[in-house]
Structure 1
């Protein structure tokens, strides 16, 4: 085949789709028509709120009067507000959940990845808390944490100290809520890690075992590197969820006692829907978003961008 024929052939291939259909303006319009409903929803419920919320962060707005441009006044007010710093500190403390939940989820995924009899029941049992409404979960754990509840009864049986309800003690309330988040989220990340484990070629592990590698060596040198993309995704989602923690706080403590569980997003909610200071709430939201991005970059760095070692 001559070079001229090759060029003609490449042009012909460029004009053809994956199934050999000719790419025309009509086909392109049809493709965009199918995407149009989703694009409209994306703009209405995501892109426009982000743009308008960013604008509101530089205004004074109470939903009754039109927005008034105030520049950086909202950010200066936030930086001088001790309640905001307290909420932000609690949100950053909540990140302690991330490594714990990832480690436990990996261990549980390794456990349920075995071809054992009835393993489907255990996979379902671990996932049930994920699909349970947090309103129900919050009520259950509020009862379990209260004085005389199952948690204090177990501590008493073990001879450990009890200081009333965990949720009524400023020293323990935040960590009690963090434990509920940990308990509820393990099943979700377990499923993702289980999918990641099943995507690792069993031939690699078999070859390593034949070469004399122990189970621990196989895990550290083959399984864990193979899970790196999944670890990146799970750690990103878990970190962002921790920084934006709200539902658990709202259902279980309402930010109490004495503001010990007051989170950054709960501060944003209070300013917007209780005090009607939407500009201040939008400014707080921007700060939370920036912090989430920074921790996302840290996750990329720690997991090497989710790349599997060659």
Structure 2
């Protein structure tokens, strides 16, 4: 019976393993090999050693993309997690939360191109809905997507709104997994709602928070669609992100070796951030015994 169960488990895992090998492992190994090559996509490949990595670290566009990506991460991750957590707490005990959950989750399943086009109209400096609303209360709205100081903030606002429903659903699942007995015992001891939130909700929700944080940081380092659709990396490369830099090197300049080197650098950065978070999670993530 144990052997049959193992065979059935392997049978169900096989499609996912095949997809992982063909769409993750093989492309990763190919990119690693190509990062040491010079190739324009058509001719012969030539081995150049570490030249592609040296080129990236001495390229001003690489550092611009790195700065913009870090700025985007700082803007989206903490605010996105905080808002989605508060929203989940607000919806956790109200009637009809399934309907609210549906409406908040709808943007998540909408294509990034559609979302980008819609927000281009919302944030348009002349005809955008946001500036028209601001004008009604006497505020002269800025050019959200053409101002170099505001463009990354604008893209961050879009992304927070876009992913709010996904993170909210994850937090709702975490909240519903917390036993009510903890809150009943706290009420008997005279703990206030705020004390219950600090001493029960936050610690018991820490595994969910850890998961959401990991996924949010990984996703923020891979931002591309919003900048590509809404600003094409502009103005003046103010929204030029790391993945946009990889795309630009590969499919605009046809420098696939340099592009692969940038992709491997991004992979290592994400890997380091993830490992550091797994190391630090022992200090603040509490699992129920």
- TM-score over 0.5 for the alignment? yes
Task: Check 1:235–1:28 CA distance in 2 against 1; reply closer, same or farther (3 A cut).
Answer: closer
Q: CA deviation at 1:232?
A: 0.8
| 2:81 aligned with 1:81 | no
3-state SS in 2 of match to 1:98: helix
Deviation per CA, 1:110-141: give whole Å up to 9, x if none: 0111142x332212121111112222211111
Helix, strand or coil: the match of 2:145?
helix
| Aligned counterpart, 2:139 | 160
Map residues 33-182 of structure 1 onto 2, 5 A cutoff.
Answer: 35-96=13-74, 97-116=76-95, 118-146=96-124, 147-163=126-142, 165-182=143-160
State the distance in 1 between where 2:200 and 2:22 align. Answer: 44
CA distance in 2, matches of 1:198, 1:52: 43
Cα distance, 1:223–1:35 mapped onto 2, change above 3 Å: closer
- What TM-score, normalized by structure 1, do the two folds share? 0.86
TM-score, scaled to structure 2: 0.92
Query: Is the Cα contact below 8 Å between 1:231 and 1:303 reproduced in 2?
Result: no
Whether the 8 Å contact between 1:98 and 1:238 is mirrored in structure 2 is: yes
CA contact (8 A) 1:228 1:303 kept: no
Aligned equivalents of 1:124, 1:28: Cα separation in 2: 37
Q: Deviations over 1:260-281 (max 9, x none)?
A: 0000100001111111111111
Q: Point out the more displaced range, 169-178 or 128-137.
A: 128-137
Q: Provide the residue aligned with 1:231 in structure 2.
A: 209
Where structure 1 has 5 or more consecutive residues not aligned to the other structure, the ranges are 1-20
Tell me how far 1:48 sits from its aligned partner. 1.2
Assess, with a 3 A threshold, how the Cα gap between structure 1 residues 156 and 229 changes in structure 2: closer, same or farther: same
Find out whether 1:188 has 2:166 as its counterpart: yes
**Partner of 2:40: helix, strand, or coil?**
coil
Q: Give the alignment partner of residue 271 of structure 2, picking from 293, 297, 300.
A: 293
| 1:309 CA drift (Å) | 7.0
**What is the aligned residue count?**
286
Which sections of structure 2, spanning at least 5 residues, go unmatched?
none
